[in-house]
Amino acid sequence: MSPSELLTLIVGVALTVMVFSYILGDRLFFGIATHILIGVSAAFLALVVMQKVILPYLVLPLAEPNGPGFWLALVPLALSILMILMFFRRGTQAGAIPLAFLGGALAALAIVGITRGTLAPQILSMLGRFEPDQLMREAQPQWSAILGAVMILLGVISVLFVFHHRGQSKAGEVVRPVFLEGVGSIGQIFIGITFGALFVGLFSSALIALISSLSDIIQFIRLWF
């Protein structure tokens, strides 16, 4: 093990132990570790943004007044200056303009993207299961396929009713019919199944990270004993 690797291991183990001190109720070392993380991440992020975004996309075009991108770069420059004005009390209102620009553009992208990339394909996929070639094979009904298609359709609809239910209950005073309540309960079952899988997935990911951290600590200890 090279000295740099050893140093990396020592730093890593020390930081890991500091984070795990949280289990014992410690706040100081845990706080130090998290603040180191924030400081290093912020600096690294700032460096990457400066070097990979601001310099090539904004500064370089502006550095060439005769270049094709000069005039185009003035707009983001103005918006960026407005954004910087948010530092000052009187400039907070000016900061709303670049934010509005971002919000509007991303909203438009979302409209097209969600429609073409999620809603349409998912609904078509759901309905596509009812196509005859999916349900019949050699003139024989495929009962498992039929059952699956019906279950998926009903499941998705019932989950959507759960959304409906939540929206109504927030407003209050709206009493849902028993039928909708029943459908919503079925939807809750499907959501519960999905959440259960997500829960296990998250725990699995966290467990792998925990085992990795513990393995590093044990490996470090074994180096000395």
Partner 1 sequence: MKRPIPLIVGALSGLIVLAAMFIVPQGGGILAIVLNWVIIVAGAALLVAIASLVLTHVRFIAKGKKGFLLSLVLVISFITTLALGLLLGVDRPSFLKFVGAIIRPIETALLGLVALVMMSAAMKIFRERGWSSLTVSFGVSAIIFLILGLGFPQNLNIPVLNEVIRFVEGLPMIGARGLLIGIGIGLLLMAFRVLFGMEGFGND
Partner 2 sequence: MTEDHSELNLCPNCGKENLPMATRCVHCGSEMEDLFTIFGQPQSPDEQSEDSLPDIIEEIRNDPSLKTPTEVEPIPEVPPADQINESLLNSEELPDWLAKVRERAQGEEDAIGDLASGTIAMDAARSEEVSAGVEGEFNAWINRVREKSQQENSVRARQLPNETEDSDQVPEWLQRIRALRPHLEEEITHEVKTKPNYADEMPREWTDEALDELRRQALAEDFEQEAEPLPTTSTGAEEEELPAEPETEELNEPVQDEPELTEDDFHNIPDDEDEILEPIPAEDLALSPEEADEAITDESEKEEQGAGELEALEEEPEPQIEEILEAPGQDVSLTNASQSEEVEEALVEEPASETEASETPEQSELEPSMTEDETGLPPEEQAEAPEDIEEPADSDSVPPDLLLLRDQQDRASLLASLIEQEGRVTAGKQLTRKPSGRGGRLAVALLLLIGLIVSILIGPAAMPTDTPKSIPALALDEKIQTLVQNDRVLVVLDYQAATSRELESLAAPLLTQLHSQGIQFTVLVSQPSGLFLAQSLLAQAGLPEDTLVEHLPGSYLNLISRAMNPAISDGQDTLTQVKDLRSFKLVLLVSDFSDNIRGWLEQIAPWIGSLNFAAVTTQMEAPVLSPYFDSGQLVGYAAGIGDGNIGAQTTFSYRAYRVGLLLMLVMLLLGMISKGEEDAIRREEERAE
Stretch that binds partner 1, among 117-125, 129-137, 170-178 (CB under 8 A): 117-125
Helices (H), the chain: 3-20, 28-49, 60-63, 70-84, 96-114, 120-128, 132-135, 143-171, 178-224
Q: How many whole angstroms separate alpha carbon 45 and alpha carbon 37?
A: 12
Residue 1 gets which letter from DSSP? Answer: -
Among 195, 219, 221, 223, binds partner 1 (CB under 8 A): 195
Pick from 60, 63, 214, 218: which binds partner 1 (CB under 8 A)? 214
Give me the 150-189 binding string for partner 2, x by CB under 8 A, dash otherwise.
Answer: ----------------------------------------
Q: For the window 81-100, what string marks contact with partner 1 as x by the rule CB under 8 A?
A: --xx-xx----xx-xxxxxx
Beta bridge partners, 137, equal 140
3-state secondary structure of 136: strand
Pick from 55, 85, 87, 91: nearest CA to 73: 55
Site for partner 2 in 8-27 (CB under 8 A): 23-25
- Residues binding partner 2 (CB under 8 A): 23-25, 41, 44-45, 48-49, 52-53, 56-57, 61, 67-69, 109, 113-114, 116-118, 121-122, 124-125, 194, 197-198, 200-205, 207-212, 214-215, 218-219
